[in-house]
Structure formats: C-alpha cells, structure tokens
C-alpha cells in the first residue's frame, strides 16, 4: 500500500545507476539509470522510471507496461514484433520476452511491472 499519494516530475527526476551485465551489451557503451517510485508490500508490483543511453542491449522482459517520455528506440522481440518507440508511445512487454533494444536517443520511460 502506498503510504501517501505523491507526484514526481519524471523528466527531471534524479536516477540511480543500474549497471548492465556486460553480456547484455551488443554494441556501444549504453548506461542504465532508474528509480523505483513504489513497490507493493508483497514485492510483486513495481512502478518507476528507467533510462538508457544509446547502444544495443539484450534483455529478458518482465510483465511490463511503459510510456516513453523522451528518446527513441527499436525493440525487437524474438519471434514477435519489432516496435519503434518514442515520446508518448505506450508499450506492453510479456514476461519472458527476449528482446534486443537498439537505443537511438537516450530513452526515459515510466513503467509498471508485475512480477510472478
């Protein structure tokens, strides 16, 4: 439960470094930062902000919905669609999706993740 309601100006929010596993980096020197704004008592619901600088990385996704606030990327889902995302786009990723992110411009998103 959220102790109190709050607001965050996402474009200016200070984020914390979240080092990538070097095995995820395909090209470039992308850097990830983020901040969890809320976590449910059972740890299954996460809401926050995430940012990545240009480069190419791979990932295995959680059950997530996000909205891109700034930047641009192409997300290729193995055996699925290729999504081109930019400011104002909302995307949904399925748990277990194996993805390749090609980040063209530093991308910042607000997300909601549901863990199993």
The tens digit of pLDDT for each residue in 58-109 reads 999 999 999 999 999 999 999 999 999 999 999 999 999 999 999 999 999 9
Q: Give me the pLDDT at residue 2, please.
A: 57
DSSP labels for 43-110? S-EEEEEEEE-SEEEEEE--EEEEEEEEEEEEEEETTS-EEEE-TT-EEEE-TT-EEEEEEEEEEEEE
Candidates 2.30.30.240, 2.40.30.170, 3.40.50.1970, 2.60.120.10; CATH matching 16-114: 2.60.120.10
Residue % of the chain over a pLDDT of 70: 97
Residue 3 has pLDDT above 80, yes or no: no
Q: Look up the pTM and report it.
A: 0.93
């Amino acid at each position: 439960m959220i102790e109190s309601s709050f607001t965050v100006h996402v474009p200016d929010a200070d984020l914390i470094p979240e080092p990538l596993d070097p095995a995820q980096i395909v090209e470039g020197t992308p850097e990830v930062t983020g901040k969890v704004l809320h976590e449910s008592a059972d740890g299954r619901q996460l809401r926050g902000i995430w940012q990545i600088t240009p480069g190419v990385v791979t990932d295995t996704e959680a059950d997530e919905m996000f909205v891109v606030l700034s930047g641009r990327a192409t997300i290729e889902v193995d055996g699925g669609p290729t999504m081109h995302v930019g400011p104002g786009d909302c995307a949904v990723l399925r748990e277990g999706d194996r993805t390749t992110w090609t980040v063209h411009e530093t991308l910042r998103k607000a997300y909601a993740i549901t863990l199993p």
